[in-house]
């Protein structure tokens, strides 16, 4: 009995296995430094990363945080002093790619102020969104989704429908970004 996973671990396993079956590629990662994690501090704790790879898609490199139920561009990734929106490439990345042109292309933050529009059982736990190449990644506290204390309306039969809505939204956001990518 000591080796049997507790109820929350069993629920989390069911959630992640369902996500894997739906090709959402779940992973537990340390909280990125641009997202508020544990105790509302940037880069603190662990977080679920659900990644959707879209074939034949080219997405801009963007990062969004959730602020008041809306997607907002990550302020550390945007240079607000310029009239046109430019990416702010950290110096560590620039130095490793010094042989290439460091000019940064203008990007379009099409999801700025777009509502999350996710199921009520998922939306409060979503923290960030990242796009690059042919990938869209959502960061969220998936363990909070299965905990009775943080999600009292949890129902195991709703997992697949909730994740399908999440996947549909990721596809919709990626399509919006692809249509509006500055080439």
- Whether the per-residue pLDDT at 103 is higher than 50: the answer is no
CA distance 31 to 133: 21
Averaged pLDDT for residues 26-31: 96
Residue-wise over 24-40: b if at least 16 C-beta within 10 A, else e? bebeeeebbebbbbeee
Q: What are 138-154's pLDDT values in tens digits?
A: 999 999 999 999 999 99
Report yes or no: 91 and 55 within 8 Å, Cβ to Cβ. Answer: no
């Amino acid at each position: 009995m000591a080796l049997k996973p507790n109820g929350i671990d069993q629920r989390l396993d069911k959630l992640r296995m369902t996500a894997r079956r739906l090709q959402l590629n779940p992973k537990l990662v340390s909280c990125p430094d641009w997202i508020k994690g544990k105790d509302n501090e940037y880069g603190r704790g662990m977080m679920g990363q659900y990644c959707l790879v879209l074939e034949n898609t080219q997405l801009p490199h963007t990062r969004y945080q959730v602020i008041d139920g809306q997607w907002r561009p990550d302020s550390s990734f945007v240079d607000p002093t310029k009239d046109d929106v430019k990416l702010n490439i950290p110096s560590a990345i620039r130095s490793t790619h010094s042989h290439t042109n460091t000019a940064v292309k203008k990007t379009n933050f099409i999801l700025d102020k777009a509502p999350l529009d996710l199921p009520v059982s998922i939306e409060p736990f979503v923290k960030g969104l990242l796009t690059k190449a042919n990938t869209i990644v959502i960061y969220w506290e998936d363990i909070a989704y299965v905990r009775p204390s943080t999600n009292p309306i949890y129902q195991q039969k709703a997992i697949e429908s909730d994740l399908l809505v999440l996947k549909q939204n990721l596809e919709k956001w990626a399509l919006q970004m692809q249509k509006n990518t500055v080439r």
